[in-house]
Structure 1
Amino acid sequence: MNRPIRTLSVGCLILFVALMLNLTYVQFFKASWYNDRADNRRVTEEAYAQQRGDILVGKKAIATSKPSDDKYEWQRTYPGGKKYAPITGFMSYSYGQTGIERSQDSVLSGQDNKLFTNRLVDLVTNSEPAGGNVELTIDPKVQDAAYEGLTALGEDVQAATVAIEPKTGRILAMASTPTYNPSKLATHDFGAASKSFNNLSKDEDEPLLNRSIQTALPPGSTFKLVTAAAAIEKLGMDGDSKVYGGASLDLPGTTTDLPNLNGTSCGGEQITLTRALEVSCNTAFGQLGMDLSDEDMRAQAEAFGFGQHYLDDIGPQAKSRYPTNDGKDKQARAAIGQQDVIATPLQMAMVSAGIANGGEVMKPYLVDRVTSSSLDVIDQGKPTTIDNQPAISRDTAEILTQMMVSVVDNGTAEVASIPGVSVAGKTGTAQSSKERAPYAWFTSFAPAENPSIAVAVMVQKSGTERSEIAGGRLGGPIAKAMMEAAIS
């Protein structure tokens, strides 16, 4: 073989090997990446050509597929509507998937390996393939109370709430407002879907945002539960321990002080820790923040879940944060849930749930069961803790529970009291800036002696006058209605 032919042959061989390597790379290593791309129309059209599984709350479908008379064969619809939109998300031809539609796509589309046997049976029997069903942990009565409570706050409101079963971590309710109608994004009228999506995307109130897990803000005085837990664990305190209750607290290294909300003392220069929680005393908890080391405070916050990613069933999840505070003044402000401390409603529900569960913080989850189209159970949610050790001891949890019950019976959380039921709670009002109104927070659990529900409510924005904004006033009635729904 002469040299030019040999050179050409070698070149062709190299190109052939390169082609085979690239083909292998694309079809094997990059297959999932291409399949998951929102702009992969082939995969999208295949998904519309078969029946997608249902998303269920109890026995009721809140997302389902119905036969369509156009070329796409199946139309995704949302009977759960706006109430469940932050959970279900949407499935759109042009804009992909969000919420449970996204996180459980492999099950709903029937492509999950757990459904391999079902796919094989469909193939052998020549049956139409169908996706699996996803059953959620949501309690419809609690969800109704959550949604109705948020919408009752009025127009132009940004708020969210979450409820957890303390012993298991099952999410009983998750609501966010403003919300949207996912069916308008799932429609096969792509022009109408595009118009709806653009309007929602441009809305300054961000209705596509699930504030329950995606909005992290200063938690204000609800964070005093974490500070109290650290004080009991690290300083050996209890509900009767004496703490500073003066009208203002000097902050070392600054020319400012930390005042109480009303500018007066909390009942004297020395008050009990229980009384400090009852009246949400800034000076008491600011002093505790300085008495504790910043490392101890951060470790306590992280033991409750701050800084962690703990929700796998839906996303994205904003991380709650307790940052490093270099200075006693910053430690004092952080101890009352200000400074750079931020938390999601889910995180503050987990703080209450951890106290309610004797110190063990359970990993929250939304997917209760996964079933095949023939209703065979192929996967089941399992309660697990977020860490290998409790966030606080059982003794500390009992002390905090008694203190939180006293906040409802004798303090700022009286609005959440339920006749004949022992309720534990804590209010919070977090300052933002002079330009915008404070954030209102409320967290609670009930029944205190055998808790079945822990709740957190966050009102980010409302039409309430600045002087009237308070966690108990805005969030308390919502939390009460949710707890009553769970224990009725």
Structure 2
Amino acid sequence: MRRSWIALGVGLPLAVAGLYALSRRGAPAGDAGTPTIAKLFASGAAAPAPASLAGLDITNISMADNVATAPLPNKRTARLTLDTNLQNAALGVLESHHIPEAAVVLMDVETGRVLVYANHVEEGSPRDLCAEATAPSASVFKIITGSALLEAGVTPSHKECYSGGEQRIHTRDLVSDPKRDRWCTTLTGAMGRSINTIFARLALRHLKPKGLEGTARTLGYGAPLPFDLPVQPSGLKIPEDSLGFARTSAGFWNTTLSPIHAAWLSATIARGGEPVRPVLVSDVVSSSGKVEHTATVGVSQKRVLKPEVAKSLTEMLDDTVLEGTSYRAFHDGRGKAFLPGVSVAGKTGTLSNASAKRHYTWFTGFAPSHPYMPPQSADGAAPMVNAPRQVAVAVLVVNKPTWQVKANVVAREVLRAYFAGYNLPGVSPPSARRVSDRRDPPTAKNR
């Protein structure tokens, strides 16, 4: 039974030095000279692409005969790992909603092959948004804090009572008070519903700033991500003071994230804590047709999570779709799953930049998070289908005040396109028309 009565832990990731403000309350945006999160972290140097891929123009993808290509200098061509049907489906969803900016990454968990690398800029010059780390991580950072808490011995079933923290965290919210703390849930429930107060309190109780920073860096923050394109490092600045540390632990401040990093992180959890290098270019062909470079796929990287921690994280992230902040996105009005038999683990994030009049939403996760279970037919028999390959997904959506669609709905539509390709019972491809998530527009609450 879905426990809809439990309050969602929500809170707007506030500004570094006051820029990111509560749009609903009309909070001031800060001094004109105050640096934005993007300015604070944009100086991080991206890892150079492999020499053979230098100069790859990913904003100029061509798709013909079910093959995606992009130009390289000296009249060379990069053949990409993209699935053209899925790439077109993702772009179609983004374009149908006229979203100001959005990015989608879908990658094969086992091989690291990138199946979708979709960048959408409604107005202005095209950019590689998938590799930009200028959007705040928001509550996606709870994955990092959750990992650190599990390493510190906190279990997914740990029960915590709470109050406050829905729109911002105050000092009083960090102190347990039986008279005020009338709602209770587990660490799993806190992840699924993105309950800020629980993450803030547990971080203060079990973690230290240096330890959380170490976990974040182990999971890819603050360093370039090895990839076929330059990737801006995801920003990281963990405060030493208790309130700042607690807020950051809950996903309020001081971190940024790129979509490709988010997909890599989700794939890492799906793989039991052992990352795989993402691959976008399958081979490089010279102007004469000679193959100059062929990619190696499935290259495992150094383990960053213990298998048992990755397993517990999966359990916690399952709750986001089963009962948490993405239940409605992945179920219709009657409670029927859009992906029957396909378990989805994921995490949402939401914030508003009042000064720029932009609303950011995130969804990152992987599916199937557990072995596929085909729904039974009326006679009780399960249909014979090929087990789908596991994929990781990351979606960033930037809306104007005239809100369009959120990232978890876009992620659902991309996953529908992917799993419909396996002809799974009950899974239909996404509609070409605009879709609704049956929710109110994003507010000053972070989910």
In which range does the TM-score fall when normalised by the shorter chain?
A: 0.5 to 0.7
Hey, what's the Cα distance between the residues in 2 that align with 1:427 and 1:56?
31
Which residue pairs with 1:152 in the alignment?
A: 96
Q: Deviations over 1:114-146 (max 9, x none)?
A: xxxxxxxxxxxxxxxxx5x43211112221221
Q: Which of 190, 195, 198 lines up with 1:276 in the alignment? A: 190
1:207 alignment counterpart: 125
Letter in 2 for 1:397: A
- The 3-state SS of whatever aligns with 1:392 is coil
Q: 1:62 to 1:463 in 2, by over 3 A?
A: farther
Residue of structure 1 aligned with 2:141, choices 223, 226, 242: 223
Q: 1:365 aligns with which of 246, 268, 279?
A: 279
Separation in 1 of the partners of 2:238 and 2:305?
A: 21
Provide the secondary structure at the position in 2 that maps to 1:438: strand
Distance 1:226 1:58 in 2: 40
Q: Residue in 2 aligned with 1:421?
A: 342
Report the secondary structure of 2:135's partner residue: coil
Shift of 1:285: 1.4
The answer to whether the Cα contact below 8 Å between 2:266 and 2:364 also exists between their aligned partners in 1 is: yes
> What does residue 296 of structure 1 align with?
211
Partner of 1:480: 415
Alignment partner for residue 240 of structure 2, among 326, 337, 346?
326
Are 2:314 and 1:401 equivalent residues in the alignment?
Answer: yes
2:296 to 382, 386, 405: 382
User: Among 163, 174, 180, which residue is 1:246 paired with?
Assistant: 163
Q: Distance in 1 between matches of 2:410 and 2:233?
A: 22
1:140 match: 84
Instruction: Give 2:317's aligned amino acid.
Output: M
| Bigger helix share | 1
Normalising by the residue count of structure 2, what TM-score does the alignment of the two structures yield? 0.66
Instruction: Say which SS state the counterpart of residue 149 (structure 1) adopts.
Output: helix
Which amino acid in 2 is paired with 1:279? R
Cross-structure match for 1:337: 251
User: What is the CA-CA distance between 1:152 and the residue it aligns to?
Assistant: 2.1
Partner Cα distance (2:167, 2:228) in 1:
45
TM-score by length of 1: 0.61
Residue 394 (structure 2) aligns with: 456
Do residues 410 (structure 1) and 328 (structure 2) align?
Answer: no
For residue 138 of structure 2, what is the amino acid of its counterpart?
G
Aligned-residue CA RMSD in angstroms?
Answer: 3.4
Any idea what SS the aligned residue of 2:314 has?
Answer: helix
Higher relative contact order (CA 8 A, sep 6+): 2
Q: How many residues align?
A: 336
Q: Distance in 2 between matches of 1:480 and 1:267?
A: 38
* Partner deviation per Cα, 1:293-349 (whole Å, 9 max, x = no partner): 11221222222211222244223x221112131212121222232312100111111
Residue 207 of structure 1 and its aligned partner are, at CA, apart by 3.2
* Aligned equivalents of 1:413, 1:350: Cα separation in 2: 20
SS at structure 1 position matched to 2:248: helix
- Displacement, 1:376? 6.0
Alignment correspondent of 1:117? none
Q: Gaps spanning 5+ residues in structure 2: where? A: 1-54, 331-336, 372-388, 424-447
Contact in 1 for aligned 2:268/2:276 (Cα 8 Å):
yes
What is the deviation of 1:422? 1.3
Tell me the distance in 2 between the aligned counterparts of 1:250 and 1:149: 30
* CA distance in 2: counterparts of 1:486 and 1:289, whole angstroms: 42
Q: Distance in 1 between matches of 2:414 and 2:67?
A: 26
Structure 1 residues 25-64: aligned runs within 5 Å: 60=66, 62=68
Q: Name the SS of the counterpart of 1:274 in structure 2.
A: helix
Query: Structure 1 61/396 Cα, relative in aligned 2: closer, same or farther at 3 Å?
Result: closer
Whether the 8 Å CA contact 1:249–1:257 is kept in 2: the answer is no
- C-alpha offsets along residues 18-49 of structure 1, whole Å, 9 cap, x if unaligned? xxxxxxxxxxxxxxxxxxxx9xxxxxxxxxxx
Matched residue type, 1:477: R
Counterpart residue number, 1:433: 354
Please give the residue correspondences for 1:462-473 in structure 2 after superposition, counting only pairs within 5 Å.
462=400, 464-465=402-403, 471-472=407-408
- Quote the offset at 1:355 in angstroms: 0.7
Once residues 400 and 266 of structure 1 are traced to their aligned partners in structure 2, the CA distance between those partners, rounded to angstroms, is 29
C-alpha distance in 2 between matches for 1:324 and 1:308: 15
| Displacement of 1:367 | 0.9
2:86 alignment partner AA:
V
Partners in 1 of 2:223 and 2:199 — Cα distance? Answer: 25
**SS of corresponding position for 1:177:** strand
Once residues 486 and 362 of structure 1 are traced to their aligned partners in structure 2, the CA distance between those partners, rounded to angstroms, is: 24
How far apart are residue 398 of structure 1 and its match? 1.1
**2-structure distance, mates of 1:454, 1:329:** 33
Deviation at 1:479? 4.3
> How far 1:370 sits from its partner (Å)?
3.0
**Aligned pair 1:447/2:352, yes or no?**
no
Question: Which deviations, in whole Å up to 9, do the C-alpha atoms of 1:35-84 show, x marking residues without a partner?
Answer: xxx9xxxxxxxxxxxxxxx9876854555xxxxxxxxxxxxxxxxxxxxx
Q: Give the superposition deviation at 1:242.
A: 2.2
Aligned to 1:310: 225
Distance 1:250 1:430, change over 3 A: closer
State the distance in 1 between where 2:347 and 2:166 align. Answer: 22
CA separation in 1, counterparts of 2:180 and 2:306? 28
User: In percent, how many aligned pairs have the same letter?
Assistant: 28
Q: Distance in 1 between matches of 2:110 and 2:180?
A: 35
How far off its partner does 1:484 sit?
Answer: 2.8
**Structure 1's 289 and 464: CA in aligned 2 closer, same or farther, altered over 3 A?**
farther
Whole-angstrom distance in 2 between the partners of 1:176 and 1:268 = 44
**Structure-1 separation of matches of 2:110 and 2:216:** 20
Is 2:270 aligned against 1:356?
A: yes
Deviation at 1:446, TM superposition (A): 0.8
